[in-house]
Structure 1
Amino acid sequence: MDISKHKLFTTVKDNSVSKETFDLYRDEALDLLITFPQPNEKSLPKYYESDDYISHTDGKRSLFENAYHFIKNIALKNKLNLINSLNPEKGNLLDIGAGTGDFLTVAKNNGWNTKGVEPSEKAKAIAIKKGVSFAESTTELESHSFDVITMWHVLEHVPNLENQIKELKRLVKSNGTIIIAVPNFNSYDAKHYGKFWAAFDAPRHLWHFSKTSIKLLFEKEDLKLIKVLPMKFDAFYVSLLSEKYKTGKMNYIKAFFVGLQSNLKAASNLEFSSHIYIIKNR
């Protein structure tokens, strides 16, 4: 990747696995941050080898993990309500980066025809026990066969961003919907924590998005951003992890007030810690 034309934004540490440092460069035209160097596809899996990588487990070993799963259950209901509001007749749903399969399980039980894709064999094994159906990769799926495609905090992980967006365009039906959830580096909590902001999560997060970057990247494939929704819980979760990375401690009270302030700031400037983007195929 040629990053010579981009400016260095900051340098961050992989706090959860390798303790290595990575640079983030800013593509000013797209308002996009790029992790550099990016691990190749062979070495990337080792950066996920941690019992603390919570989205690949159903662990409830601590207060933090129990709180995570409590909030996740609320989020699952919200996600289901969202896809039902966009497609009341239901239909075919693809979840890319399905993790342990909780979202697909909820959707399947609600009448959706579901399919998942998940690179982590550990997470996939948990999901299969819940009855989730998987494809090995999206390439084996038929073109224009899904009414809704979701990527919940997954797009930031994919090695080839432009190819992934082209593949979404191929898979979604005419007038179908793509739902993308990603962190927002323009949020108050991102600016407050700087290099300690947990949602940078390099090198697992290869790309770091803004509202501008999502709009422009999807427009290249004639996919239209129609709505942006806040993920208000993320400000608290990310602030808690950021406190741990910055101070070595779970400062629950301080993290709560930073998360609260982030949401209050975003109420006026609309820059929440994370956003859900609703994108329509034309």
Structure 2
Amino acid sequence: MTKEKDFYQNLQPFLNCKDHTVSNEVYQVTINKEYDMLVTKPVPKNLGDYYKSEDYISHTDSKKSILDKVYQAVKNITLKRKLKLIDTSLFNQNSSSIPEKNILDVGAGTGDFLKVCKDNSWNVYGVEPDLGARNIASKKGIILLEDLSKIKNKQFDIITLWHVLEHVENLEEYISTLKSLLTKDGKLIIAVPNYKSYDAKYYKEFWAAFDVPRHLWHFSQTSISKLFSKEDMMVEKTLPMKFDSYYVSLLSEKYKSGKMNPIKSFYRGFISNMKARSSSEYSSLIYVLKKL
């Protein structure tokens, strides 16, 4: 656990959550008030086994269920927005050097984001621990490495983590490694669920984005700023992921009531986004970070 020991001190109970995807086990979600961050306890020793499910959709291209189809449809829309974000982040930097357009996607899943980047003149690199997802990506012409330790003597203009940081075990060490892989003027782009959102507060222990035990950390805007400031990095921009409130509410409703309720889910997602217009607490947030 090394540097993470501080996160596990002075924890207070927050709520208990059930693993709805694999085991049906109940985990405690605790709060570290200093960081305004929630911590899942305990962390299973065989954590990799908790990703082995057909319901873990980011490792497949499945379109079998209604949820699958919604996820894939939303993904296709957001891919274009992500591409626009990285292009804007790269070419708006105040730098005399011309970027090489090297991007590293961490937790690349089945490679769809990197495929879009590659088709738009980016030099793409990716990391994905799941073998099945890597095999699917390779069929799209995207070769992924198993973990960050496989990357040698390389730095990147853009590093992205789309809903990945919440899965990382050695959090501070991982953040330090990411910083070392960035060029001087590079940008780190991270998307994570926001436990301060309206949909999180409404669904409580049924909120799908808690996703215990796979999600080890549950971030707020305060916790992201504090964590990265320790590595001399700062949040340059914070952006909403408005689609997430609808998808998360749809899944949360299923966990809460045992069945889909698209109308109610859409309403809750809509209310969450409306409230976030004044609070800025969207269901998920994108953080664009840079070195100080």
TM-score (norm 1): 0.97
Q: Shift in Å at residue 210 of structure 1?
A: 0.3
CA distance in 2, matches of 1:90, 1:156: 29
C-alpha contact 2:137 2:144 (8 A) present in aligned 1: no
Q: Could you say which residue in structure 2 is the equivalent of 1:27?
A: 32
Mapped pair 1:50 → 2:53: yes
Q: Could you say which residue in structure 2 is the equivalent of 1:109?
A: 119
Q: Which runs of 5+ in 1 are unaligned?
A: none
Amino acid across the alignment from 1:27 = N
Q: Shift in Å at residue 143 of structure 1?
A: 5.2
Mapped pair 1:76 → 2:79: yes
TM-score (norm 2): 0.93
Q: Shift in Å at residue 136 of structure 1?
A: 3.0
Map of 1:1-282 to 2, 5 A cutoff?
Answer: 3=8, 5-40=10-45, 43-88=46-91, 91-142=101-152, 145-282=155-292
Q: Shift in Å at residue 20 of structure 1?
A: 0.3
Amino acid across the alignment from 2:28 = D
SS at match of 2:114: helix
Q: Shift in Å at residue 134 of structure 1?
A: 2.0
SS at match of 2:129: coil
C-alpha contact 2:20 2:255 (8 A) present in aligned 1: yes
Return closer, same or farther for 1:221/1:143 CA change in 2, 3 Å cut-off: farther
CA distance in 1, matches of 2:254, 2:66: 14
Q: Which ranges of 4 or more aligned residues in structure 1 deviate by more than 3 Å?
A: 1-4
SS at match of 1:82: helix
CA distance in 1, matches of 2:188, 2:153: 14
C-alpha contact 1:144 1:174 (8 A) present in aligned 2: no
C-alpha contact 2:134 2:143 (8 A) present in aligned 1: no
Q: Which runs of 5+ in 2 are unaligned?
A: 92-98
How far does the alpha carbon of each residue in 1:1-45 deviate from its partner, in whole angstroms, 9 at most, with x for none? 6645111111100011100000011010100000000123xx011
C-alpha contact 2:108 2:114 (8 A) present in aligned 1: yes
The share of aligned pairs that are identical, in percent, is: 54
SS at match of 2:199: helix
CA distance in 2, matches of 1:213, 1:143: 30
C-alpha contact 1:101 1:130 (8 A) present in aligned 2: yes
CA distance in 1, matches of 2:53, 2:126: 23
CA distance in 2, matches of 1:235, 1:209: 16
CA distance in 1, matches of 2:64, 2:122: 32
Q: Shift in Å at residue 133 of structure 1?
A: 2.3
CA distance in 1, matches of 2:9, 2:191: 29
CA RMSD of aligned residues (A): 1.2
Amino acid across the alignment from 1:53 = Y
Question: Which deviates more, 60-69 or 147-156?
Answer: 60-69
SS at match of 1:182: strand
Amino acid across the alignment from 2:42 = P
CA distance in 2, matches of 1:61, 1:86: 36
Aligned pairs, how many? Answer: 280
